[in-house]
Amino acid sequence: MTTIDGTADTRPTPPSAAGPIEMTGTTIDYLRATILMKVEGLDDTALRRSLVPSGVTLLGMVKHLAMVERFWFQIVFAGADIPVPWTDADPDADWRVEPGETTADIIALYREEAERSRAIVAGAAWDDLAQRPGHTQTLGWVLTHMVEETARHCGHADILRELTDGATGK
């Protein structure tokens, strides 16, 4: 199988049988690789172009997913006290690519946040509870939610990529 730009597809293949952490973790890794595949080969202008009334861009979607990884794995599940860009006054700041942010910066941020998420999952059990006060989610809930969240945005990215340059792919 090949990617949008014709290179070999190196996304991890989720196992057909595995425990829940391995199954959901590998599925999330597949989806993480998919979202990055959807932005491959596009220049900075194309990645920042909004083609829908909401203003969403492909690069903004990658930034949003990086912050979703940070929020659910580090802040909620692990209980870390680290910043996120959104506020009550600006709830969509994580979708916005700021002028000083480069494509390389945002891609690196997403990869770093995903790696931190993997490290947190590696030391936890499916039924472990979130450490952030006021949150009752288990690791299983967070992993399942991240499959849903990332898959939904992969679908959005499919549409945005096709509108951008006509490219389609898995």
pLDDT tens string 6-54: 668 889 998 899 999 999 999 999 999 999 999 999 999 999 999 999 9
Block residue for tokens 């829940």: 20
Contact 46, 4 (CB under 8 A): no
The model carries a pTM of: 0.94
Contact 132, 85 (CB under 8 A): no
* Residue 104 pLDDT > 70: yes
Residue spans per domain, the chain: 20-165
Contact 37, 4 (CB under 8 A): yes
* Torsional class of 71: left (φ above 0), alpha (ψ -120 to 50), beta (otherwise): alpha
User: Which architecture does CATH list for 20-165?
Assistant: Up-down Bundle (1.20)
Number of H helices, E strands in the chain: 5, 0
pLDDT tens string 110-150: 999 999 999 999 999 999 999 999 999 999 999 999 999 99
